[in-house]
Every structure is written in structure tokens, then in C-alpha cells.
Amino acid sequence: MYNIYCDESCHLENDNQKAMVLGAIKIQRDRVKSVSDDIKSIKINHGLSKYAEIKWTKISPSKYEFYEELIDYFFRDYDMNFRGLVIPNKSSLNHEVFDQTHDDWYYKMYYYMLKPVISQIDTHIYIDIKDTNGAKKVHKLKEYLSNSIHDFYGERITKAQLIRSEESQILQLVDLLIGAIGYENRDLDQSDTKLKLVELIKRRSGSTLRTKTSLFAEKFNLFVWDPERRNG
């Protein structure tokens, strides 16, 4: 029995951002509480409230050691695995050619990200709330994923729901990882602290964050979407 926590960055069609990133952490359900408690302890040890939210956008030089420890904790914990999907350049997409809307394509991307990590039975999927259309989108996403993997009786994906990032320590870790991947793929360099964290993740993962990893990489698995080779 597994939980999968999902987040996304720059998923809107016309947000003037070059790269889009989807990411998820998969974890055994019986480990969620202990991992969440560990993350809260890391926050407290660095002088933060256990309710303080981990966000890539909040990173500052004074908190580098805090985020460094979080990243090290993720890579040390054998029960958490990350799967990410990068669309390097959204301007290269041409939805009309494939007779699809941006939303249709969005569900395809979630499918390509999640299919390899959905368990054979009893997977719960939690997705960060982004907008007022979230409930409708998550219902359609569950339907799309279930049909795509022939889970017509809801035995593999037993739950899919929206949650707020402040409700989940693990979801906040996803935000941190996809934030770093997005920073690299958007060629940003305004923050030395963020660049150091990007380099740390590169070292710990053995990934450039720009190219796909081996399909068999479990701890940190990254897929890079190529619109020239895929349908949409």
C-alpha cells in the first residue's frame, strides 16, 4: 500500500515560463507518519516552526543548511522514491496538430509521470491544490489514469484527492525537488543559494536534471518529454 504525493510547476499554457515540471514522491503508507515527524524535527532543529512550509520560492541564504539537510534526508531515506517529468520548452508544443486541448495534454503528462510508479494494488494519490478547478481536474485525472492502466474496478488507484501543501510534509519535499529541476531547466541563476542546492541534488541523484535517467533508476527517476518523438 503506497501513497503518491504530486506537485507541478508552471503547468499553465500561457504563463510565460519556459519549462514545466511535474513531480511525485512515492512512499509506503505506513512510513508517512514517521517521515513527516522527521521533517518536522529538522524544521525545529533549524529554529523553524514545525508548521513552517517548505517551498522553493522561500529559499534564502540564511536557510541554506536547513534545505541542505532536507535534501540529504530525502536521499538517505530508502522508502521515498521520486519520479519527475520535465517539459523543457512549452513553446514547442502544438496541440492543434494532435487535436487536443492543453488540458488533454496535461492529463497525458500526468499519465506518463505516474504510470511507472503506480502500485499493483491500493495506491492513494494526493495532488497539491492549484486552482478552483482542481476537484474537477483530479476526478478526470483519476479516471484517465485508471482507464489507461485498465484499473476499471479501482483496485490499483483507490483514492485520488487534492490536499494543501501545508497539510503534507512529503508534498512540501516534492515542491523543493521540482523547484530545483525547474530552476535548472529555465536557465535561472539569480540565487547562489538555489544554485548550490541544484548542484547538491545533481550530486546526490547522479542526474543532470536536464536529461532522462535510466528507466530502472528508483530513488530519483526523471523523464524528459520530447514533443518531436511523442504524440503531443
Mind listing the domains of the chain with CATH numbers?
2-224 (3.30.420.10)
Residue 25 near residue 77, CB atoms below 8 Å: no
Interaxial angle between packed helices 64-76 and 169-185, expressed in degrees from 0 to 180 and rounded to the nearest 10: 110
- Whole-angstrom Cα distance, residue 116 to residue 49? 35
Contact 57, 127 (CB under 8 A): no
2 close to 66: Cβ distance less than 8 angstroms: no
Per-residue pLDDT, 211: 96
Contact by Cβ (8 Å): 175, 137: no
In 3D space, the residue among 189, 199, 188, 185 whose CA is nearest the CA of residue 23 turns out to be: 185
pLDDT per residue of the chain (232 residues) written in tens, 0 to 9 = 999 999 987 554 455 557 889 999 999 999 999 999 999 999 999 999 999 999 999 999 999 999 999 999 999 999 999 999 999 877 665 555 555 676 777 888 888 899 899 988 899 999 998 766 677 778 888 988 898 889 988 899 999 999 999 999 999 999 999 999 999 999 999 999 999 999 999 999 999 999 999 988 999 999 998 766 554 4
Write down the residue that cell numbers 503506497 correspond to.
2
pLDDT at res. 13:
47
Q: What's residue 121's pLDDT? A: 85
Dist CA 211 CA 195 (whole Å): 18
pTM to 2 decimal places: 0.91
d(CA 50, CA 69): 15
